[in-house]
Structure 1
């Protein structure tokens, strides 16, 4: 007789789930053991830590378009899932968490590892979190958890007491009062708004003389449609961080990222436009959007809850980005005046020259901008890029020039450290035939990456393309926080808080049977990328970079400038290097580019 654990796997497989990321423990042994009861049609992927499992489930959803599933034991295992699950929730990814619990008869008895999991998961999985108390309940719990995760693009959770997991499964509940008879399969919503709303939106966009488009993660599948609409309206396209791969950076009117990590052309685009079209984005920073009342605005989003949230919109279109743009396109007029578009293209061309000049500045020993600048022309056509939070995200946002066909993601809404390497591992699980590059700082590497490397070393031989490159910025500093302390708080860097202990990243990779390359000279950066991309073994690139190079925002306010000066006057230990590097950055912004193309 099949157990409840067996049935859970069978039902997940019927929903199309191919892989579960997790870590075992006695609270979930009944489900884990079921993986060994014949072939359940689902792979169990063991991670080094439950947090990694949740990150991988989120990334699985991002890179496959399928629901991601993670699994953990009761108590501490369940608690460890939370950070990765919040990453999925805040980036609107469908993830199902399956967690164990102590036996039903012990609940309420202050038993070992007994945690009130319903309360613990009620926020992160608020759309659906339920604990099974009888085998006949399990079928509809699995069905609803998967269906709601997909429908709401969110996290759901099933709690399974350990004694229940070993009981005989009930695949078909009895036909009687008080039972639930759920089924498998999902039917999507209408993808295109009504004709009247489309006409209203088109009228606003057609009236605009200076149209700006902001594309987010919800527009990643709408590349061709975004390009066609921008060409018709003579618009520029800025990108939220999660939407970096929505349109290629090689287009002359794509201004790049927006926000604190964004570009000056994106800043100018938003400050000078008279019309805003926001597509699939929940970009939160209002100071980087047009001033309220400056621009008429139209928004497209698949989730009506996210409409009219970031900027006052005249027309909101609830629908799929690509389908809605396709329906809107025939209603748009060709913009005959191309002066706005020319201004955008001039700004973008200037900006790329500024970035190149900044990347080639001397530093001690390696300029982190150069690490990313040299990677851009060497990116494989179908690469998948993952990036961590921190200063590395600044250089990823600005210096990497993505081409069409490339995929990229990071932790957007939560902006948590530690996600880049588990994201990369999940990308390889989903698409083992594509090259993957993970970009992270030494803080994130010490936090979770070192452990994730063990999993990588144990897994890579099954991949059809072995290329996975882990690039670590080794600057010995929690760099983004150091800059935030200076710019937002006016405080000097606190070495006790910010300095990281030294660690031999490349040598550690070699110890695990991977390839490790340590780079501490700028002239070695480009050759190191080429060696890593040609390597038949996954490679860790340890780039020894200068923490004093500032990730300057596209616009520095007087308040930020005064905080910066105050931090240096308070005895910042890196003051001399910071000032020197900042002067170089500002100089390049003033005197490179300027229509020299």
Structure 2
């Protein structure tokens, strides 16, 4: 332990992290952050250090800490390449509004500006991703103040903050900070309080909603603490509820008015509710899929958000309410007349019921060898109510949005707005570190696993013996294709799939798991799916379930939006020969199911 005479700035940094209640620091070592890492070793009250296998993954883990734990995620890296590798995870935090603080090393102050080894302009590098707060510490006296401001910025703006600390400054003796000129004494601590709506905004919004006949609600993650109030308002108005991808975990999809996720990967029920509504209430959402909103002018709109800068950001609203979602929704319900048994309510319930049948029938479509929708549907039935779910990016997100209807007690997260492949296993690790006594489920494609997930299974293998609950189930949809992009080539470009860019090399995911001391289960028979998943959740160690799925199962936008694109998709598949013919048969099957249940 450092004494008063030997205490360094790095020791002071560790103390400040402790004062902020930081439990873990994710990262990777290098010469630049060695003083900080060794200060972690020396301290008896230091946060735990979780070593990732790549700085990008470490940043994703810090984002997961923020999302699952609702606290600041902290990540550290060395200078140069280590700092560059952080960018993808930090942009994930920026675009999904997650509070992350990055502690980044820099070369010695004496060599800055000399093109020294691993010297890059870190202020410029992080300027966009951490625009609310980025600071290079120039003096030992400034360390507590800069860290305090970084944490308060991250929590206030829900954006990354970056603190750059040169190597020699980390090694410097810790200062005694008093009241001398040029010294600033600050304290760790932050509180948001509660924001209540203005009465005149509630009144104006109520007039708009009352005038409409067909009310739709678009719920984002900003309503996660207003789940009861949102459903009560929907029932009061007979309103259809749709969700952004980030809002999906917080809305009970078993409710007859809940139409599911909106957007390109959303449900047909959500698409029809938004297409047919005349009034839209946006609650805590900044979903970018604007082509799936009501057409401008079709619906009068009200928006509720805690951040005034979000009002009118995606759709032309008439009234914006700056407020905690629960308070605003409660106030609105008290002013609006109930609409029991309305025709719109009956229409919404019909759309929802039809969609539930469509999704069931899609999962039942025979594929070679496995239909990925069936795998995910069976997985959803087995997710424990106290689980934490991490979803990687790719075709698996479509199946998550359409086939997973889970309890709202399940925390589920993914890289939504950035949509970065490779986040799944790092997110799962972060979730497990936040709550090691809860089971974790990771859903990923083989492309994302080959990109980053396989590396971080090594981290899982090293960490799991310390977890009280060893359940960490990774379900890999293995089709040897970058399926989402293959279908995008057909849909958006009206071109056949480009084999060279899309095909993935073979990889034995189950065998690899066994090599790491984990459990590996391979499924290529539909009848084996239930028992294999049951085995995975009963295992005494983390499990990789490798499901061999069919790359030709369609990934389509919801009806009716896909109608105008079907000819282009069919034409592209026609240029793919025999393989395209098979995919076209599956496409036609999906279309027939939809047409029979409109």
TM-score by length of 1: 0.97
Question: What are the residue-to-residue correspondences of 1:163-202 with 2, within 5 Å?
Answer: 163-172=168-177, 174-202=178-206
Counterpart of 2:288? Answer: 284
2:130 to 125, 133, 146: 125
Counterpart of 1:377? Answer: 381
The yes-or-no answer on 1:388 pairing with 2:408 is no
Question: What are the residue-to-residue correspondences of 1:470-485 with 2, within 5 Å?
Answer: 470-485=474-489
The answer for unaligned runs of 5 or more in structure 2 is 1-5
Deviations, residues 126-162 of structure 1 (Å, cap 9, x unaligned): 1111111110011111000000010111011000100
The answer for unaligned runs of 5 or more in structure 1 is none
Q: Which range moves more in the overlay, 310-319 or 440-449?
A: 310-319
Report the CA distance between 1:398 and its aligned residue: 0.5
Question: Would the aligned equivalents of 1:247 and 1:404 in 2 still touch at CA under 8 Å?
Answer: yes
Q: Secondary structure at the match of 2:492?
A: helix
Question: Would the aligned equivalents of 1:59 and 1:426 in 2 still touch at CA under 8 Å?
Answer: yes
Question: Would the aligned equivalents of 2:574 and 2:581 in 1 still touch at CA under 8 Å?
Answer: no
Distance 1:479 1:324 in 2: 41
Distance 1:323 1:13 in 2: 34
The yes-or-no answer on 1:61 pairing with 2:48 is no
The yes-or-no answer on 1:297 pairing with 2:301 is yes
1:444 to 445, 448, 451: 448
Distance 1:229 1:204 in 2: 15
Counterpart of 1:7? Answer: 12
Counterpart of 2:31? Answer: 26
Report the CA distance between 1:417 and its aligned residue: 0.3
Q: Secondary structure at the match of 2:521?
A: strand
Deviations, residues 284-303 of structure 1 (Å, cap 9, x unaligned): 12221111111111101111
Report the CA distance between 1:8 and its aligned residue: 0.6
Question: Would the aligned equivalents of 1:85 and 1:95 in 2 still touch at CA under 8 Å?
Answer: yes
The yes-or-no answer on 1:528 pairing with 2:532 is yes
The yes-or-no answer on 1:418 pairing with 2:422 is yes
1:561 to 548, 566, 569: 566
Distance 1:336 1:253 in 2: 13
Q: Secondary structure at the match of 2:381?
A: helix
Distance 2:437 2:407 in 1: 19
Report the CA distance between 1:570 and its aligned residue: 3.2
Counterpart of 1:404? Answer: 408
Question: Would the aligned equivalents of 1:206 and 1:233 in 2 still touch at CA under 8 Å?
Answer: no
Distance 1:234 1:566 in 2: 41
Deviations, residues 254-279 of structure 1 (Å, cap 9, x unaligned): 10110100111101101111110101
Distance 1:50 1:289 in 2: 37
Question: Would the aligned equivalents of 2:556 and 2:562 in 1 still touch at CA under 8 Å?
Answer: no
Q: Which range moves more in the overlay, 193-202 or 448-457?
A: 193-202
Deviations, residues 178-201 of structure 1 (Å, cap 9, x unaligned): 222222211315411211111211
Q: Which range moves more in the overlay, 413-422 or 526-535?
A: 526-535
Deviations, residues 498-527 of structure 1 (Å, cap 9, x unaligned): 111100000100111111100001111111
Counterpart of 2:97? Answer: 92
The yes-or-no answer on 1:267 pairing with 2:280 is no
Counterpart of 2:459? Answer: 455
Work out the number of aligned pairs and report it: 592
Question: What are the residue-to-residue correspondences of 1:163-242 with 2, within 5 Å?
Answer: 163-172=168-177, 174-242=178-246
Q: Secondary structure at the match of 1:26?
A: coil
Distance 1:17 1:2 in 2: 20
Q: Secondary structure at the match of 1:340?
A: helix
The yes-or-no answer on 1:508 pairing with 2:512 is yes
Counterpart of 2:337? Answer: 333
Deviations, residues 369-427 of structure 1 (Å, cap 9, x unaligned): 10111122222112211111111100000011112312111111101100111111111
Distance 1:348 1:525 in 2: 27
TM-score by length of 2: 0.97
Counterpart of 2:22? Answer: 17
The yes-or-no answer on 1:357 pairing with 2:361 is yes
Counterpart of 1:151? Answer: 156
Q: Which range moves more in the overlay, 329-338 or 82-91?
A: 329-338
